[in-house]
């Protein structure tokens, strides 16, 4: 039975308590649409890997339901599993095997007919074609990571999970990997990645879910999240640094930054802070700005607010 298939993933009332009694997932409800790039963002130990592994059938839920491409992951395990590819957090490949064989064997494990043309296409997309006959142990860390992605794609999944794809990958390679993942998304593959790098979520995702201590504390379109929760700041860069904020400015939400060389006013678009009034006070206090500019808070600031709340 193929049910509603507009959702790549539908998770309802998911709980996971490990054998140790540790409650790793607490009533997770989440739907991910086909074609999305969804980033699950959270600090270490938040439950990201547990959640991904539950969806991929590696961790057995304590309660709740999960469907993947319309298939129940418990009662229709084989169908569900064949629609998804997982790139685990830890690299798991046979170091002495070649790139070509690794991807080809993995496809066979899923019972897919041989298709050298498809394997070639995947290796080319992952920029591994010239390494196809190389043993995996001879590859760099970034290349190994791409072999893992190619392996996860070997059976033509509709949904790809990347668990901490940037862990241990240097900045340069990270950027090229993001570009490759984005181009995968353009071919229609739904992408779900976990990360504790905010930059990665900000760069890649259409939608972001924030998980902390096993609870999904929000899911939001990335741009909406930035707009709704982002604070704006007016920065007064000073000619001469100050050590304290003058008394007559104490009514304003001001802070000092960079050893007193910047005075920063926090405000929302809804606030009716009168910048010229602040400027007047600065002038009468003998403080002269060298430059004035506004600044929008990043996903990072928002994330810190949420997780520390």
Question: Which parts of this chain interact with ligand ADP (CB under 6 A)?
Answer: 18, 20, 22, 24, 42, 44-50
Please check whether residue 234 is in contact with residue 264, taking contact to mean a CB–CB distance below 8 angstroms.
yes
Among 8, 39, 42, 49, binds Mg ion (CB under 5 A): 49
**Residue in 90, 101, 174 with CA at minimum distance from that of residue 135:** 101
* Residue 30 contacts which entry, ligand ADP, Mg ion, none (Cβ below 5-8 A, type-dependent): none
* Residue 45 contacts which entry, ligand ADP, Mg ion, none (Cβ below 5-8 A, type-dependent): ligand ADP
Tally of CB atoms within 10 A around 246: 15
Reduced 3-state DSSP string for 197-241: CHHHHHHHCCEEEEEECCEEEEEEEHHHHHHHHCCEEEEEEECCC
- Torsion, CA 271, CA 273, CA 274, CA 279, rounded to 10: -150
Measured from the CB atom, the residue of 19 and 269 that comes closer to ligand ADP is 19
Min separation Cβ 42 and Mg ion, Å: 9
* Residue 50 contacts which entry, Mg ion, ligand ADP, none (Cβ below 5-8 A, type-dependent): ligand ADP
Measured from the CB atom, the residue of 87 and 287 that comes closer to Mg ion is 87
Min separation Cβ 214 and ligand ADP, Å: 7
Min separation Cβ 217 and ligand ADP, Å: 13
- Torsion, CA 139, CA 144, CA 148, CA 151, rounded to 10: -10
Measured from the CB atom, the residue of 44 and 250 that comes closer to ligand ADP is 44
* Residue 77 contacts which entry, ligand ADP, Mg ion, none (Cβ below 5-8 A, type-dependent): none
- For residue 233, how far is the Cα from the chain centroid? 26
* Residue 106 contacts which entry, ligand ADP, Mg ion, none (Cβ below 5-8 A, type-dependent): none
For residues 104 and 126, give the distance between their C-alpha atoms in angstroms, rounded to a whole number: 15
């Amino acid at each position: 039975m193929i049910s509603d298939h507009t959702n790549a993933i539908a998770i309802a009332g998911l709980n996971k308590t490990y054998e140790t009694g540790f409650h790793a997932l607490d009533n997770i409800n989440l739907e991910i649409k086909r074609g999305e790039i969804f980033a699950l963002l959270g600090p270490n130990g938040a439950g990201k890997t547990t959640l991904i592994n539950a969806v991929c059938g590696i961790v057995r839920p304590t309660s709740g339901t999960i469907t993947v491409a319309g298939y129940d992951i418990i009662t229709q395990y084989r169908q569900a599993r064949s629609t998804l590819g997982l790139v685990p957090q830890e690299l798991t490949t046979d170091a002495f095997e070649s790139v070509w064989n690794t991807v080809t064997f993995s496809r066979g494990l899923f019972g897919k007919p041989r298709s050298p043309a498809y394997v070639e296409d995947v290796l080319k997309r992952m920029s591994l074609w010239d390494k196809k006959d190389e043993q995996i142990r001879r590859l760099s860390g970034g290349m190994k990571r791409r072999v893992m992605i190619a392996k996860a794609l070997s059976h033509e999944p509709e949904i790809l999970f990347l668990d901490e794809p940037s862990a241990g990958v240097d900045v340069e390679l990270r950027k090229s990997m993001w570009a490759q993942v984005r181009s995968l998304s353009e071919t229609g593959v739904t992408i779900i990645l976990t990360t504790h790098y905010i930059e990665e979520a900000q760069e890649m995702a259409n939608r972001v879910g924030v998980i902390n201590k096993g609870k999904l504390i929000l899911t939001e379109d990335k741009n909406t999240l930035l707009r709704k929760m982002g604070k704006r700041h007016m920065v007064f860069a000073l000619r001469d640094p100050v050590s304290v904020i003058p008394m007559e400015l104490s009514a304003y939400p001001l802070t000092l930054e960079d050893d007193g060389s910047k005075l920063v006013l926090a405000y929302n678009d809804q606030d009716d802070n009168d910048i010229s009034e602040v400027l007047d006070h600065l002038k009468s206090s003998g403080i002269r700005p060298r430059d004035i500019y506004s600044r929008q808070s990043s996903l990072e600031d928002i994330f810190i607010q949420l997780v520390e709340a």
